[in-house]
Structure 1
Amino acid sequence: MTYWRAIPQTDGHRPKGAERLAGGWTWVSHVERIERGGARTLVPLHETPSAVIERLTACRASVSGLSMDTPRLMGILNVTPDSFSDGGLFNAPDAALAQARAMVAEGADILDIGGESTRPGAAFVDEADEIARTAPVIAAIRAADTTPISIDTRKAPVAQAALTAGADVVNDVAAFTFDPAMAEVTAAAGAPCCLMHAQGDPATMQDDPTYEDVVLDVYDFLEARVAVAEAAGIRRDQIIVDPGIGFGKTLDHNLVLLKNLSIFHSLGCAILLGASRKRFIGTLGAAPEARDRAPGSIAVALHGVRQGVQILRVHDTKETRQALSLHMAVS
């Protein structure tokens, strides 16, 4: 099988024949042609198949009213007692609403509400408990604010309750594999979705993750899950893909995926990067405590922007917004 990885560029001197990547802020004149188990060759864009060019250059559609022609920040709001970075801080409704308002004021374009920790080793949460944690918070935020809200869940009843409460987007870390009814619920609501790659369940995913080729294996998985979502009635232009940094990946797997993020533009979907405060940042950046990983998280986020990633899922909204504003101003 042949894969195509765009080589994103940002310099103001864009050569003749170069095209905007995904209608965004980077441009592409060459792509890397990759054969599984074989050669990797640099090819001019105009020499690639027309279908590939279309996928790489087509403007990405707006998601819940947010245009994808500029990087967007998704603020993380975990209403859980045990999330790896902020567990227990915002699981009371009043604290969650106050944090949501703060993140919007700091520059969040969308709020991602989660009621089940998916950190390595996390325990399963009953769907009734997950609904009790998330639906009232979503309803309270929606009553006070129009900022788009995504529900971070892998369970269809939780997604349905969240959508009823006012959520706009379904963000499934299992990409509709844990609960196949998720596709039907999302399609019936006419909601956009984010499909993430994860190898294994949160309780065991870091035990011994292995791949033949992590970049191509993740790509194949996401391509297959996009097809499932489309078959359920969800339009491709309303599907976001997430390579799942830290979910069933070693440090080296994470780094290889980050270096090759632009391959996922070939799926013709917007891309989400969720690397904020992950363990590999602490390892490489000498920050054992998750709360001390903002600088490294921002560095990875800006790398994602240079790769054309449209959505950054972050804990440190204010700091990332400032860095992003400066990055875009000088790029």
Structure 2
Amino acid sequence: MTFKALIVEKNEAGETSAAVQEIDDSRLPDGDVTVRVDYSTVNYKDGLCIGPGGGLVRTYPHVPGIDFAGTVEQSEDPRYKAGDKVVLTGWRVGEVWWGGYAQKARVKADWLVPLPTGLTTRDAMAIGTAGFTAMLAIMALEDHGLAPDKGPVLVTGAAGGVGSVATAILAHLGYEVAGVTGRPETEDYLKSLGASRIVPREEIGETVKRPLESETWAGCVDAVGGAMLARVLGQMKYGGSVAAVGLAGGAALPATVVPFLLRGVNLLGIDSVMRPYEDRVRAWERLAKDLPLDKLHAMIQPAALADLPELGRAILKGQVKGRAVVDVNA
């Protein structure tokens, strides 16, 4: 049996190229479960893996796609049987292992979770790794005392995948949400998701000499890192928490320890790649309950396998709004 996949290859000069190819089942990697993939998404890591690799891809040829949702075709593990709907995010699938940019995937059963009741496979990938990460961030903030009556919550990179889902969930839960964006054309989009305030990136994107500013935010979901994260730390309310989920603005953190010592600020690191199974199930159940489907569907940018090289370049430039959902059978 053959199926379509986006194959990334590297030549002897170290140059990569990506194209949709028809390949045979025999080329699938080892694993316990074979899944007929319905949908995948486009994430920042995917952009790296479609292009030069960013140090993430170990061997070529390679199939990117760090998440997917579909139907079990064959299973050697008793937890799953043919016909089961499943979701996969993380575990370095699409990086070290072949991923979801194909009509079939073969993976370890431990990496899968059942599709939550109330969601379709398309819904699951409209959420994808970005939405899953957003939910983990919100759960961590709640675990550290965040509640709607504590004050406004800041979401940086708000028009991106993580930010879009975080904004919609927080607004649905009754929080006052402020969204940071460097793209003025996304303001109406963010307000439609529930943001009550838009913060232009230039207002918060650079550090200042003062280690502390006015106490403004009760919590923050930060997808940017770098100077913006350092600035946000100095604006947190006493005992507030920042959930750090990304580094689009750089990996360096030009901050001081003053916010931690004088205001008891918490900096919470969010890892979605190696998250234990129980946490994954809990997060997906919360997503099915707390993310309004009408807001989710409004985020979707439909795509096909052939669109991926262009979308990969676009997401690395910060030019993808919302959630690019890839129908691998289109």
- Please confirm whether the aligned pair reaches a TM-score higher than 0.5, indicating the same fold: no
TM-score using structure 1 length: 0.31
Q: Which has the larger radius of gyration?
A: 2
More strand as a share of residues: 2
TM-score using structure 2 length: 0.31
More helix as a share of residues: 1
